[in-house]
Amino acid sequence: MELEDLDGVGEAIAEKLKEAGYDNIEAIAAASIGELKDIGLTEAAAQKIVASARQSLQMGFESGLDFLEKRKQVGKLTTGSKELDALFGGGIETQAITELFGKFGSGKTQLGHQLAVNVQLPVEKGGLGGGAVYIDTENTFRPDRIQQMAKAVKLDPNEVLGNIQIARAYNSDHQMLLAEKAAEIVKEKNVKIVVVDSLVAHFRAEYTGRGTLADRQQKLNRHMHVLQRKIADLHNAAVIVTNQVMSRPDILFGDPTSPVGGNIVGHHSTFRVYLRKSKGTKRIAALIDSPNMPEGECVFEVTTDGIKDSKEPKEKAK
Ligand code: GTP
Ligand code: MG
């Protein structure tokens, strides 16, 4: 099926869509009306085109049985720690966004690296038998660390590096563009995980002051929408986003920190995990929000070989 086969798409509009990267029916079906308005379509035209694309892919209502069938496709990816996997109900899920938030040094980037390696393991070893895309906003991607982790799980270090597509995002607009681009790569290269490390750093730096907060949230909303619909849902991939925490001096009891990005990021994340430092190499992970797993905590370690169970796994998190 060609773009021109959709209701409301003639040659000129097809050209406009293609230029903006909407070069297939799936991409249009996953687009929001606002996105298409942004490339110069009228609201009415955008609605007609998106509806037609969704119709042709039979997106819309589906029976509970179809839904169950789609859920059965959900893959689970091992973190390297059985305790941490159990917290997620058996590993990091595809078709979902998992948010890792915590202070500096809590292990967000280490976990991102580990998952980009583990995703390449065969399914029977806890992997998803696919490649990775890594969107790096803080220049903290380390190929030598990937090689080290690859060796530890007995994969060829260079092959593993070869199966990770890395892009450095220079600002929030570039980051959003890279997410769109990632959606294409995911389709072409059997990619099963996309890591965005960090999700909010650029947004936070560029949008300061109250007046711009609404703009920031709107853009973040669109960014998360692309990650969920065009990557996680459409291609049955896992999406990992990392997030810093900011101090909340107004909170007197408990941990006075909360993730940046507020409820927009939280609303779009299926799983939210709070990471914090413990003694030495130990880290504590707390599952904050999940559709079907109880909230809980566990201990894991960041070792030379990567993410591992703590040597005293039965130890209570504190
Ligand atoms: P920010 O991005 O600064 O917010 O922090 P983060 O949460 O991404 O922290 P990151 O994952 O980078 O964790 C850094 C910590 O991981 C270091 O302080 C080390 O404790 C540990 N780490 C990093 N690399 C290695 C390594 O090669 N070997 C070991 N044993 N530990 C490492
Ligand atoms: Mg980091």
- Domain locations in the chain as residue ranges: 3-56, 70-309
Where do we find the tokens 């450095």? 168
C-alpha span between 212 and 232 (Å, rounded):
29
Residue-level pLDDT at 207: 85
**Strand 96-102 to 164-168 pairing:** unpaired
With a 6 Å cutoff on the Cβ, whether 105 touches ligand 1 is yes
Residue-level pLDDT at 186: 94
Residue-level pLDDT at 261: 64
Residue-level pLDDT at 65: 86
The reported pTM is 0.83
Pick the CATH number of 70-309 from 3.40.190.80, 3.10.20.30, 3.40.50.720, 3.40.50.300: 3.40.50.300
Ligand lying closest to the C-alpha of residue 306: 1
Which of 198, 283, 302, 308 maximizes ligand 1 atoms within 8 Å of its Cβ, making it the mutation to test the pocket?
302
Residue-level pLDDT at 256: 53
**CATH code at 3-56:** 1.10.150.20
Q: How far is CA 221 from CA 54, 58, 208, 235, 266, in A?
A: 21, 25, 17, 20, 10
Which of 81, 84, 110 maximizes ligand 1 atoms within 8 Å of its Cβ, making it the mutation to test the pocket?
110
Residue ranges of the chain with per-residue pLDDT less than 50: 313, 318
**Strand 271-277 to 96-102 pairing:** parallel
Residue-level pLDDT at 164: 98
